[in-house]
């Protein structure tokens, strides 16, 4: 291996026989009702402290504002003045139905469209936070998730601007960085993460990534058949700048509308060119010094 | 969407014929986080660069028999490194865990590589400077001097790689130029500092180094802004804009004074050296502040990514 050949830590690479299938989240925002049970369950299970004084943002029902050191799930609320396609749901029939399948033909109506989405750490395949961490505090678990070892982190803060999603953050008053662990402790005991467990509509689904991807494809197909032309899967594939994500989403509009980057990339993808530029610049330093002394004393 | 209405208002004010590219956002909120770093970091960029470029100057001066200049440069290198370590440790969220930096050796993390470089450079440069000043253990001192001279150049430029290796648009998209901006800034400051500490008759190499460094710094900063295009906006607005203007003014004026009269007039060497040191520090502050401004506005994140998507979609 050379300095410019920088492999992403492989999954299960350090776990010999203990590697497990890669686990993740599929967040289907089309059935999110904005109840914030995920935010509450996450805080309670993980003992995440208060994230500052209560503020009313004025941005719809979102007073959580953003993911951060003390917010590991964040429900976004978007109000759009856009003709809506609302399924004419017969409540009795819906109650009798066993799945969330869209059965009715949607009708275009005037008015507002309300998008809700629960955001979370993406547990990237090529995780910039993990790759830039100089202490090894951030590591890849046997489930393929990315977790901070709090007894190692020294609060250097390098992961904070490295994350292309603005997820990880240094906690005021503590000095270390924190983010979603995908409930590493619960996973070890064969349980699902608190947020997925609390989600009343199964908007947040947890499971082996392969299975989630199949489920997401089927769901997308059903929505598109039902006329939701804007529906799309975000971060489902591995052909993107982060090499795929452990947490991916079904969105009903462009990612940036939800505060997500449209085409995120891990910064270390470009690291070979960065190191090359640094080496060339170091060469310029040497050359400049040599040239300066070559001119004599005066 | 507030970002959209802002966009419209701006457009009307300027009376542009071509509409600005639209971008959408979540209530105009940032997508990426601002760094958690504090002002110790850009000051470390300055002191580390100062030390990193002074160490090879000391070795080169010694090799050409210029003992006075070698001594001055070595003192600057030792002092620069001695100032760097506390700056870095105090910026940590958990300073008492600074030694965790040396748990792993990680080429994907410029901060890890820099920590190792600093761990080797620190004792070498400080030891060499002390040995030279006090005349103790001269043999070991020379070895340490050469070690610090070899590590020094990478200490000047890895900090540019460090900030470039983030998701911050104004840093990441300038990844090819930032190390050179830092190299120029480091050379200018090292040349200037040794000029101030050395009699004019022996300070020729330091003066030339200061002027060459200033030219590299100004040239690389210009190239960086051209490469960034629209993303270079933070260098013309707010605190980063003020620092950048001041930095370039100080650097240009300092280089001019140094080149024109530095060898003949002590006051010109002192004024030029002072301006170059100020310009070098201000340039790092400008880069540092620009990163915060760039991270704060989602348009810098969304627009290039949209452009990338449109360029690759069939």
Which of B 5-24 lie inside 8 A of A, CB atoms?
23-24
Cβ count near B67 (within 10 Å)? 12
The residue written with tokens 């761990």 in the block is: B119
Q: Residue A248 phi/psi, 5° resolution?
A: -130, 170
What pLDDT score was predicted for residue A106? 47
User: b/e per residue, A71-88, with b = 16+ CB within 10 A?
Assistant: bbbbbbbbeeeeeebeee
Inter-chain contact A285–B153, Cβ cutoff 8 Å? yes
Cβ neighbours of B92 in A, within 8 Å:
154-157, 175
Coil/strand/helix, residue B242: helix
Residue with tokens 């997508």: B31
Q: Predicted confidence band at A152 (pLDDT cuts at 50, 70, 90)?
A: very high
Residue B18 reports pLDDT greater than 60: no
Strand order across the beta sheet in which A204-208 lies: A204-208, A23-28, A247-251, A232-234
B125 token code pair? 């440069």
Rounded mean pLDDT, B306-310: 93
Question: Distance between CA atoms of A146 and A123, rounded to whole angstroms?
Answer: 5
Q: Report how far residue A275's alpha carbon sits from residue B108's, in angstroms, rounded to the nearest whole number.
A: 10
Is it the case that residue B20 has pLDDT exceeding 80?
A: no
For residue A135, give the chain B residue with the closest CA.
B101
Q: Which residues pair with A86 in a beta bridge?
A: A107
Are residues A264 and A242 in contact, defined by beta-carbon separation less than 8 angstroms? yes
Partners of B303 on chain A (C-beta within 8 Å) are none
CB B48 within 8 Å of CB B83: no
pLDDT at site A8: 44
Q: B223-255 burial, b for 16+ CB within 10 Å, e for fewer?
A: ebbeebeebbbbbeeeebbebbebbbebbbbbb
The pTM score is 0.91
Bridge-based pairing state of the strands A23-28 and A204-208: antiparallel
Reduced to 3 states (helix: H, G, I; strand: E, B; else coil), residue B309 is helix
Best residue in B3, B25, B32 for a mutation probing chain A (most A CBs within 10 Å)? B32
Angle at B218 between CA B69 and CA A162, to 5 degrees: 100
B100 to chain A, any CB pair closer than 8 A? The answer is: yes
**Which residues of chain A have a CB within 8 Å of the CB of B171?**
161
Cβ(B182)–Cβ(B159) under 8 Å? yes
A250 — pLDDT class (breaks 50, 70, 90): very high
pLDDT at A264 > cutoff 90: yes
Identify whether the C-beta of residue B62 lies closer than 8 Å to the C-beta of residue B199.
Answer: no
Encoded tokens for A262 = 């449209």
DSSP B4: H
* Contact with chain A for residue B175, Cβ under 8 A: yes
Q: In chain B, what are the domain boundaries?
A: 35-307
B42 touches chain A (CB under 8 A): no
What is A16-265's CATH topology? Alpha-Beta Plaits (3.30.70)
CA trace torsion B137, B140, B145, B150 (10° rounding): -170
Sequence-separated (6 or more) residues with CB below 8 Å from residue A114:
A34, A77, A78, A79, A80
Please report which confidence band the pLDDT of residue A274 belongs to, taking 50, 70 and 90 as the band edges.
very high
Helix, strand, or coil here: B40? Answer: helix
Per-residue pLDDT, A51 = 84
> Does residue A245 belong to the interface with chain B, where contact is any CB pair within 8 Å?
no
Report the pLDDT value the prediction gives residue A105, as an integer from 0 to 100.
Answer: 43
Query: What one-character-per-residue DSSP string does A220-248 give?
Result: HHHHHHTT-TT-EEES-SSSSBTS-BSEE
Q: A261 — contact with chain B (CB < 8 Å)?
A: yes
Q: Which of A156, A277, A288 is the closest to B209 by Cβ?
A: A288
Cβ proximity of A177 and A160 under 8 Å: yes
Q: Does A53 touch chain B (CB under 8 A)?
A: no
Task: Give Cα separations from B200 to A259, B55, B254 (angstroms).
Answer: 58, 20, 16
With CA atoms as reference, the chain B residue closest to A57 would be B27
Instruction: Give me the mean pLDDT over the A289-295 stretch.
Output: 95
**B32: which chain A residues are within 8 Å (Cβ-Cβ)?**
161, 163-166, 261
Tell me whether A287 touches chain B (CB under 8 Å).
Answer: no
- pLDDT tens per residue across span B237-268: 999 999 999 999 999 999 999 999 989 999 99
Chain B residues with beta carbon closer than 8 angstroms to that of A257 = 24-26
Kindly report the nearest CA distance between residue B117 and chain A, in angstroms.
13
> Closest-CA residue in chain A for B166?
A162
Interface contact flag, B205 A297, Cβ < 8 Å: yes
Helix axes B138-164, B67-91, angle to 10 degrees: 50
Class of domain B35-307: mainly alpha
Q: What tokens does B61 get?
A: 């001066």
Q: How far apart are the C-alpha atoms of A251 and A268, rounded to whole Å?
A: 27
CA A173 to chain CA centroid, nearest Å:
25
Give per-residue pLDDT as tens, B74-109: 999 999 999 999 999 999 999 999 999 999 999 999
The Cβ of residue B105 has, within 10 Å, a number of other Cβ atoms equal to 12
A292 and B205 within 8 Å at the Cβ level: the answer is yes
State the pLDDT confidence band at A98, using cuts at 50, 70 and 90: low
pLDDT at residue A81 greater than cutoff 90? no
A14 touches chain B (CB under 8 A): no
Tell me the mean pLDDT in the region A89-106. Answer: 53
The backbone region for A58, taken as left when phi is positive above 0, alpha when psi lies in -120 to 50, beta otherwise, is left
């Amino acid at each position: 291996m050379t300095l410019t050949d920088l492999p992403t830590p492989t999954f299960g690479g350090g776990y010999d026989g203990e590697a497990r299938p890669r686990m993740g989240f599929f967040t289907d925002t089309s059935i999110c009702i904005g109840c914030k049970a995920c935010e509450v369950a996450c805080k309670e299970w993980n003992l995440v402290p208060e994230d500052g004084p209560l503020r009313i943002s004025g941005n719809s029902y979102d007073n959580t504002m953003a993911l951060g050191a003390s917010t590991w799930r964040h429900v976004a609320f978007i109000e759009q003045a856009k003709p809506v396609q609302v399924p004419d749901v017969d409540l009795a029939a819906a109650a009798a139905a066993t799945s969330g399948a869209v059965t009715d033909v949607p009708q275009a109506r005037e008015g507002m469209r309300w998008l809700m989405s629960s955001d979370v750490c993406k547990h990237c395949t090529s995780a910039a936070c993990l790759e830039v961490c100089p202490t090894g505090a951030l590591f890849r678990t046997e489930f393929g998730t990315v977790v901070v070892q709090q007894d190692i982190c020294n609060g250097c803060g390098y992961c904070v601007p490295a994350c292309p999603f603005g997820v990880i953050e240094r906690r005021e008053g503590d000095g270390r960085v924190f983010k979603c662990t995908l409930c590493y402790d619960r996973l070890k005991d064969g349980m699902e993460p608190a947020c997925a467990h609390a989600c009343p509509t199964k908007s947040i689904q947890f499971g082996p990534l392969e299975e989630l991807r199949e489920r997401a494809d089927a769901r997308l197909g059903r929505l598109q058949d039902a006329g939701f032309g804007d529906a799309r899967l975000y971060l489902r594939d591995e052909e993107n700048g982060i090499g795929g994500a452990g947490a991916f989403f079904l969105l009903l509009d462009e990612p940036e509308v939800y505060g997500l980057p449209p085409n995120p990339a891990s910064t270390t993808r470009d690291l070979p060119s960065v190191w090359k530029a640094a080496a060339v610049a170091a060469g310029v330093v040497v050359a400049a010094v040599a040239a300066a002394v070559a001119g004599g004393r005066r | 969407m507030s970002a959209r209405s802002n966009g419209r208002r701006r457009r009307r004010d300027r009376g542009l014929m071509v509409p600005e590219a639209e971008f959408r956002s979540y209530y105009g909120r940032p997508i990426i986080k601002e760094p958690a770093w504090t002002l110790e970091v850009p000051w470390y960029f300055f002191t580390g660069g100062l030390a990193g470029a002074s160490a090879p100057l000391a070795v080169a001066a010694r090799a050409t028999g210029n003992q006075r200049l070698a001594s001055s440069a070595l003192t600057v290198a030792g002092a620069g490194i001695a100032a760097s370590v506390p700056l870095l440790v105090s910026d940590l969220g958990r300073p008492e865990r600074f030694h965790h930096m040396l748990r792993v050796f990680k080429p994907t993390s410029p901060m890890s590589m820099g920590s190792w470089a600093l761990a080797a450079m620190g004792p070498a440069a400080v030891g060499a400077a002390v040995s030279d000043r006090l005349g103790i253990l001269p043999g070991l001192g020379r070895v340490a001097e050469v070690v610090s001279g070899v590590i020094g150049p990478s200490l000047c430029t890895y900090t540019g790689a460090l900030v470039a290796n983030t998701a911050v648009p104004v840093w990441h998209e300038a990844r090819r130029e930032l190390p050179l901006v830092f190299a120029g800034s480091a050379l200018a400051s090292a040349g200037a500092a040794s000029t101030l500490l050395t009699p004019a008759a022996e300070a020729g190499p330091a003066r030339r180094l200061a002027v060459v460094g200033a030219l590299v710094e100004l040239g690389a900063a210009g190239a960086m802004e051209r490469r960034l295009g629209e993303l270079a906006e933070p260098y013309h607005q707010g605190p980063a804009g003020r620092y950048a203007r001041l930095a370039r003014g100080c650097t240009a004026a300092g280089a001019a004074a140094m080149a024109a009269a530095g060898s003949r007039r002590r006051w010109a060497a002192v004024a030029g050296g002072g301006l170059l040191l100020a310009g070098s520090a201000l340039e790092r502050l400008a880069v540092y502040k620009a990163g915060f401004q760039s991270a704060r506005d989602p348009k810098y994140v969304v627009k290039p990514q949209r452009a990338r998507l449109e360029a690759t979609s069939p």
